Amino acid sequence: MTKVKITTTLGDIIVRLYDETPKHRDNFLKLASEGYYNGTLFHRVIKGFMIQGGDPNSIGAPAGQALGTGGPNYTIEAEIMPELIHKRGALAAARQGDEVNPERRSSGSQFYIAWGQQYKSSQIAQMEKQLRMQAEQQIFNGLVNERKVEIMNLRRNRDREGLMELQTELEALTHSIAQQKGVGKLSDAQKEAYTTIGGVPHLDGQYTVFGEVIEGLEVVEKIQNVATGSADRPVEDIQMSMIVL
């Protein structure tokens, strides 16, 4: 078992790194052993959501300085796996958004620890409905994009009947693809985790989870409860250092 101790001004957090995500595991170990994280801050904290750190520009950063864009000038190939989820205490890699990073490559150094909330079964059901709707909309948009030349011709010819027939066809195809892929359904493991431990389920499948907190979850709770100012930066700096155990 590969473990790293994160010492903060509010206490110690010990994380276990997953062997299922070797690229992220090895990179985190390398940076931690080199002292890369020593003196950096948890620069972004959102109560009830997560705590984020790992920006080298946060070392000695004066109050008010914008943080969150620093790193080691490389990114890491995504290792997103359905069984590695954003349960409370999950260690995951930050990244740029899909619009500039469609491959969902991870930041070379920035990470976050998930907090989230506990969900009732009724909330899980509603979430699955929303996820299914979002996924079906993405599938439909993709199909529309594939048929955009045909759609433009129908519009140019003002063929309303043809457009309606095509829409009906694409909607049926969307529904069929969604059923085949089982989109919008949380696994039994996800439901168990999010109704008992808590977490941030809407991030699943979007970011690489590469470890979890095994000691010091109460410290994560303290950090996510601190007062924050501009850009969700804690009013009082929360420094960290790391050692590989």
Tens-of-pLDDT digits for all 245 residues of the chain? Answer: 899 999 999 999 999 999 999 999 999 999 999 999 999 999 999 999 999 999 999 999 998 898 999 999 999 999 999 999 999 999 999 999 999 999 999 999 999 999 999 999 999 999 889 888 988 998 999 999 999 999 999 999 999 999 999 999 999 999 999 888 877 788 999 999 999 999 999 899 999 999 999 999 999 999 999 999 989 999 999 999 999 99
Class (C level, CATH) for 2-117+198-239: mainly beta
Q: In angstroms, rounded to a whole number, what is the distance separating the alpha carbons of residues 51 and 11?
A: 14
Q: In angstroms, rounded to a whole number, what is the distance separating the alpha carbons of residues 215 and 162?
A: 61
Q: Do residues 208 and 106 touch, judged by C-beta distance below 8 A?
A: yes
With b for 16 or more beta-carbon neighbours within 10 A and e for fewer, the 124-161 pattern comes to: beebbeebeeebbeebbeebeeeeeeebeebeeeeeee
The residues spanned by each domain of the chain are 2-117+198-239, 121-181
